[in-house]
């Protein structure tokens, strides 16, 4: 009898000690991350990875499975936050992944859904969220089968067969769905897709307007509203250079030229006025365009060598990629085009991208050209002396100055070869011999050569449109390829070219 009472007393003391240890263990677990060496497991405060996508949404990813567990909208009002907190209080399937308890609850619920654990016997929050009781090891007893203490010995039961749980790599990679229409406008049946230009007709793209062309993109310091009035400037003949969504010297000069061309001030601050002017001059600033098989096919070159000797060994100085070709077609900076379409595969025919809509080129004949060195600008006038078009330009340098006085246009060459002669012009690298550089948009003179009456000088294109007006040339007048092409189509031999200081 004494032995039985002693055994019961030992069991009672062990249970009391285990129960008293529970709150201590819970408190210690919260300090484990701050007190290394105490024997407690550290608390994992970042069990989920959070990413920001191109729409500004927070993407919560389970790093163990790769599964997207939540997509949070870019902004939440206080009312929405209050509803989410209330939903968690009512035990709805809403989780706060900054809360360790909610993260643990999500894992339990997800394991139940995937069959990795049995569902709870009671569908109530108290059961699911209760802490797991620690496993207790009973002290060794030599009277294990003593009926007075433990009763009848346990009887083995045959458990029913259960299918093994699925492997953890059950999540498959798939792209995220875009946000709802109220978060970001998407192309649909009501929006026009830009027509595929025929050869020589690249400028004649006039699709219908989408619902909203003033959505701010989520990239860098470029702004789509700035790009919108850059498109308007381009259509009016006041070229801003590359359409890149940024204010700079070329844009400021184009704004002044816009007033000279149209007689009205460009109201850059007035969104509705800009939209009205865009609608009146060819439609929205940005449209959808479907990449064709011919676009993706090229041909393209891997890279453009800097040495003229290496250039001369190529068959053609083509574009290096579909994105570079499309950026030039739509008068855009290539980086801006890519940022506007962050998920687009430019090498896949059928891909729909968003592009600038510069409209039709200027077609009024030009009788006189002024190359203004101080303004870094080319101005074209008709026979009446009215301004027809204005282009940003790179005109000579101190080491290789451009001509002075007045000259005339001698001839016009589209897609020209370039003859390098170090004895007449400048010397490039270690090249001492005359070289013939093949044609192409990435050639030294781009895709256009307008020869002047002064030998070896001319107005031409460039392989680097983003540098126009910001660098120097070897004495010639350099424009973007699309501006040079527009000018080449409205001038003819005999037109005067005056260089202004």
Q: Which residues are catalytic?
A: 460, 476
CA 386 to CA 365: how far, in whole Å? Answer: 11
Euclidean distance between CA atoms 474 and 395, whole angstroms: 8
Residue 221: φ, ψ to 5°: -100, 5
- How far is CA 136 from its chain centroid? 56
Distance from C-alpha of 419 to C-alpha of 421, rounded to nearest angstrom? 6
Question: Across 73-203, where does the E strand assignment appear?
Answer: 193-194
> Within 13 A of 205's CA, how many CA atoms are on the CB side?
27
Provide the token pair at 310. 């290496």
Q: How far is CA 159 from CA 114, 122, 182, 272, in A?
A: 21, 21, 54, 73
Spatial separation of the C-alpha atoms in residues 483 and 461, rounded to whole Å: 8
- In 10 A of CB 71, how many CB atoms? 14
Place of tokens 């929205």: 284
In degrees, rounded to 5, the angle at the alpha carbon of residue 325 between the alpha carbons of residues 246 and 215 is 40
């Amino acid at each position: 009898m004494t032995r039985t009472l002693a055994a019961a007393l030992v069991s009672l003391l062990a249970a009391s000690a285990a129960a008293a240890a529970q709150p201590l263990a819970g408190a210690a677990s919260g300090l484990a991350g701050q007190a290394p060496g105490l024997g407690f497991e550290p608390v994992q405060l970042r069990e989920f990875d959070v990413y920001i996508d191109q729409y500004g949404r927070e993407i919560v990813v389970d790093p163990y499975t790769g599964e997207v567990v939540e997509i949070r909208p870019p902004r939440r009002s206080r009312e929405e936050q209050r509803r989410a907190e209330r939903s968690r209080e009512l035990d709805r399937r809403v989780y706060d992944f900054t809360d360790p308890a909610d993260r643990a609850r999500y894992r339990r619920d997800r394991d139940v859904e995937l069959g990795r654990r049995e569902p709870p016997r009671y569908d109530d929050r108290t059961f699911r969220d209760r802490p797991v009781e620690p496993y207790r090891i009973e002290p060794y007893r030599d009277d294990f089968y003593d009926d007075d203490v433990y009763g009848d010995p346990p009887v083995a039961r045959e458990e029913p067969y259960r299918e093994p749980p699925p492997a953890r790599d059950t999540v498959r990679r798939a792209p995220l769905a875009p946000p709802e229409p109220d978060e970001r406008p998407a192309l649909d049946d009501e929006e026009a897709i830009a027509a595929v230009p025929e050869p020589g007709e690249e400028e004649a793209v006039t699709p219908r307007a989408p619902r909203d062309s003033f959505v701010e993109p989520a990239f860098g310091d470029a702004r789509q509203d700035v790009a919108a009035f850059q498109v308007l400037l381009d259509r009016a003949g006041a070229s801003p250079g590359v359409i890149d969504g940024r204010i700079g010297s070329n844009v400021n000069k184009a704004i002044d030229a816009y007033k000279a061309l149209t007689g009205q001030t460009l109201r850059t601050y007035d969104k509705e006025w800009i939209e009205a002017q865009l609608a009146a001059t060819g439609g929205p600033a940005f449209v959808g365009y479907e990449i064709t098989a011919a676009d993706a096919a090229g041909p393209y070159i891997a890279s453009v060598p800097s040495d003229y000797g290496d250039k001369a060994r190529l068959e053609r100085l083509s574009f290096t990629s579909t994105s570079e070709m499309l950026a030039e077609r739509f008068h855009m900076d290539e980086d801006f085009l890519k940022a506007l379409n962050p998920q687009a595969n430019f090498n896949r025919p059928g891909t729909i991208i968003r592009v600038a809509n510069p409209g039709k080129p200027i077609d009024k004949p030009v009788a006189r050209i002024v190359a203004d060195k101080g303004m870094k600008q080319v101005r074209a006038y008709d026979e009446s002396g009215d301004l027809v078009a204005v282009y940003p330009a790179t005109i000579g340098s101190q080491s290789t100055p451009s001509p002075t006085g007045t000259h005339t246009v001698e001839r016009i060459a589209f897609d020209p070869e370039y003859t390098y002669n170090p004895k007449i012009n400048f010397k490039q690298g270690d090249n001492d011999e005359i070289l013939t550089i093949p044609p192409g948009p990435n050639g030294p003179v781009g895709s256009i050569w307008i020869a002047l009456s002064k030998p070896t000088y001319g107005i031409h294109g460039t392989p680097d449109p983003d540098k126009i007006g910001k660098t120097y040339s070897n004495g010639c007048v350099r424009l973007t390829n699309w501006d040079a092409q527009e000018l080449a189509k409205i001038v003819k031999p005999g037109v005067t070219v005056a260089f202004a200081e």
